Amino acid sequence: MDPAKVLILNQTFEPFQVCSARRAVILLFAGKAERVEDTSRVFRSPSTSFVLPSVIRLHRFVRRPVQPTIAFNKKNILKRDAHTCQYCGRNGGERMTIDHVIPKSLGGRTVWENVVSACRTCNLKKGNKPLAEAGMHLLRRPTKPLSAFYLGILVHAAQRCEGWSKYLPLEADAHAMMGGR
Ligand SMILES: [Zn+2]
């Protein structure tokens, strides 16, 4: 079956989990969930054919366990930024560097809100200058990911988000939704 991922919404329409298309179809056939968004792809077997879902919603509310805080490290910073240079938008895979938006030499701290993924070219170009002086700007303001759960969902969405985006809260809204953690 299709390896694409499906977004599962809780009964309340909040993002709940990301699962395989196979699991989503099992949930639909078992009557545990309903289709919310479809993909443009159709699964065909000799006996049946159906449109693969992109987003499904659980019929019953499921309480999600409290999410541990996400570790602050290079791997997770790159993950948050989908391995994309936050200055030029280039995807540099594993060869990305981490840049301090406000340079350390100017008092910039090493925190989620001040570090971004940057390609080598942009990192060199920016050097120890503040953004304005370097004549560069950020694709988006860096924030602390809410949890490993959200980071995972955002990474999937960045890669392939057929129909997902309207169910994913903006970072700020999600923060309030999850009790401001
Ligand atoms: Zn760049």
Give the tokens for residue 96.
Answer: 């990305």
Question: Measured over all CA atoms, what is the biggest interatomic distance in the chain, rounded to whole angstroms?
Answer: 66
- State in Å: Cα 132 to ligand 1 middle: 16
Residue, of 18 and 159, whose pLDDT is higher: 18
Average pLDDT over residues 9-33: 91
- If one looks up domain 74-134 in CATH, what number appears? 1.10.30.50
- State in Å: Cα 148 to ligand 1 middle: 26
- State in Å: Cα 123 to ligand 1 middle: 7
Provide the 10 A C-beta neighbour count for residue 83: 18
In this predicted structure, the answer to whether residue 30 has a pLDDT above a threshold of 80 is: yes
- What local confidence, expressed as pLDDT, does residue 28 receive? 95
Q: pLDDT tens digits for 84-99?
A: 999 999 987 768 999 9
Q: pLDDT tens digits for 61-73?
A: 998 777 677 889 9
- What local confidence, expressed as pLDDT, does residue 2 receive? 44
Provide the 10 A C-beta neighbour count for residue 144: 15
Mean pLDDT estimate for the chain = 83
Average pLDDT over residues 146-158: 69
Q: pLDDT tens digits for 119-133?
A: 999 999 999 999 999
* Residues linked to residue 5 through DSSP beta bridges, in sequence order: 20
Domain boundaries, the chain: 5-66+151-177, 74-134
Q: How far apart are CA 128 and CA 59, in angstroms?
A: 53
In this predicted structure, the answer to whether residue 100 has a pLDDT above a threshold of 90 is: yes
